[in-house]
Amino acid sequence: MPALTLDEAVRHSYQQLREGKISEARELLQRVLSHIDHPDAKRLLMQTESLLPLEQVVDSLRHISHLMFQAANQEVVSNWLAGQRLYRDLLAEECYADPRRLERFGAKFYSQNDEDGIIAEIFRRIGTTNRIFVEFGVNTGLENNTLLLTYQDWQGVWMDGSEQNIAFIRRKFAPLIERQRLQVAQQWIRVETINQVLQSFRLPEEIDLVSIDIDGNDYYIFESMTAVRPRVCVIEYNAKLPPPILAVMRYDAEWMVHELTDYFGCSLAALTRMANRKGYQLVGCNITGINAFFVRDDLCGDLFYQPATAEALYQPPRYGFHHAGTFRVGHPTSYGPWQIG
């Protein structure tokens, strides 16, 4: 089957019929119809053997295309509504009622899931200082934990290992880079070089936020990081390893994700134990079981839920929330040269 949508196939078929290219129109229709899972497709496929009904076949194909588009949209909407209901019902559970917990503050604007809202709530409680962030593993920058902060007078550093991603960021976010609100680097994040890399950006020792999502060595990077002492850290964990399991993938400086498997990162219990040694308290996880949030001990007081343990705050893997579109917000994400209205 050619790489055409149904609408494109309909237009091409009409054009071929107008030009008298009957055999080409028939061949295209046969190829398209043979790949359509619809009760009328076989009937239409048989009709293509005759010259006379070809135009009627094209009309019917257009109708099928419209029906299938509607059905696909209805499925997307149904999945979204089901996800919204499940999300609402989950947060209504008594265990989330304590106002010191963070799950109910989750909200997506530019983050992958509900991280934007949780980050905002953490800083509402502890305040900000210099509003400087560092984020490792930003992909294209259009869906990460710090893009929303750039609209709120924050500045910082984005790093990603992909040369293609960084090239895209340099083009797309040129206004931020030109205003020196954003520094960008194509950088593989390794234990051996992490502190030298951070020092190269001439950051103050205390910054407000670090976010680490590099699909592998996240644990080791956070453990080794001494060039900055962030007040808040957001770090990916492997939710398939529930507390009290203490597990960390073996360190590999050349680690790259070649396929999607459950071998990555570390368990929440292992991450929390290491964070405690560094002087950080676990304050929550997002509802999808992707990111854990840590706040420096000296800032916590009684602002967050106790006990601050992996067992008490763990969230299991609910990746389906993301794939069902539960955290879909408005139009697809982009970025342009905004100005203050």
Which pLDDT tens digit goes with each residue over 168-200? Answer: 999 999 999 999 999 999 998 899 999 999 999
DSSP state at residue 217: S
Domain parsing of the chain, residue ranges: 6-84, 95-323
Q: For residues 96-121, give the mean pLDDT.
A: 96
- Tens of pLDDT, residue by residue over 273-313, are 999 999 999 999 999 999 999 999 999 999 999 999 999 99
Give 258's DSSP letter. Answer: -
* Percent of the chain with pLDDT strictly greater than 70: 78
Lowest mean pLDDT, pick from 101-105, 116-120, 337-341:
337-341
pLDDT above 70: residue 4: no
* Angle value at C-alpha 246, between 242 and 252, nearest 5 degrees: 110
Please give the mean pLDDT across all residues of the chain: 86
In angstroms, the CA 58 to CA 64 distance is: 10
Give CA–CA dist 142/173, Å, rounded.
10
Instruction: Indicate yes or no: pTM above 0.85.
Output: no
Mean pLDDT throughout 25-40?
68
Topology, domain 95-323: Rossmann fold (3.40.50)
Token look-up 């950006």 returns: 201
How far, CA to CA in Å, does 192 sit from each of 185, 252, 289? 17, 11, 29
DSSP assignment letter at 250: P
CA 57, 59, 62, 68 torsion-angle sign: negative
Supply the pLDDT for residue 1: 39
Going from the C-alpha of 36 to that of each of 13, 15, 43, 164, the distances in angstroms are 16, 21, 12, 36
2: pLDDT confidence band, cut at 50, 70 and 90? Answer: very low
Instruction: Let me know: does 219 contact 134? Beta carbons within 8 Å.
Output: no
Interatomic CA distance for residues 317 and 239, integer angstroms? 5
pLDDT in tens, 252-265: 988 887 677 899 99
pLDDT in tens, 58-69: 666 566 566 555
Asked if residue 72 has pLDDT above 60, the reply is: no
